[in-house]
Amino acid sequence: MVEPKYLKEIYRAYEKGIPIVGPTYMGKTIGVNKATAYQALQKLASTGYGMYLKNKGFVLNENGKKYAKILMRKHRLLECLIVETFGLSPCEACREASNIDALLGEKISKALEEKYNHRRVCPCGNEIPEVKI
């Protein structure tokens, strides 16, 4: 599953005010070469999460933004749980959460929502996106 990793980084860029991300930026952020990043961004566009603008990069559409927010929300709620339960540092929690956030099933996702729905920021201080369904 390559998309969740990319979508999260694209969303992080979007949060920082970078609406279009190119293969060079993505390659550096994810730690892959430019060609691999280019292919992944093309695939994201063909999956319906956004558009690839020639010579510029990928931009999320509404569908992509929504899915990215759902992922980021899961990721950051999971960080809250990991820090609180296992006492890991926010940085370690982020790394651990990144490995499993996209794989969480419905019941754990729901339990996380119930436990942490009052939280507005994750342990690193980033905003936990609200998702309207």
Compute how many residues bind Zn ion; rule: CB under 5 A.
Answer: 1
- CA dist., res. 133 & res. 23, Å (int): 31
Q: How far is the CB of 133 from Zn ion (least distance, A)?
A: 22
Task: Give the contact letters, 20-49, x = binds to Zn ion (CB under 5 A), - = no.
Answer: ------------------------------
Using the contact rule CB under 5 A, the part of the chain among 24-32, 34-42, 93-101, 111-119 near Zn ion is 93-101
Q: How far is the CB of 52 from Zn ion (least distance, A)?
A: 26
Output the DSSP codes for the chain. --HHHHHHHHHHHHHTT---B-HHHHHHHHTS-HHHHHHHHHHHHHHTSEEEETTTEEEE-HHHHHHHHHHHHHHHHHHHHHHHHH---HHHHHHHHHHHGGG--HHHHHHHHHHHTT--B-TTS-B------
Task: Give the contact letters, 44-83, x = binds to Zn ion (CB under 5 A), - = no.
Answer: ----------------------------------------
Which residue among 94, 104, 112, 128 contacts Zn ion (CB under 5 A)?
94
List of residues contacting Zn ion (CB under 5 A): 94
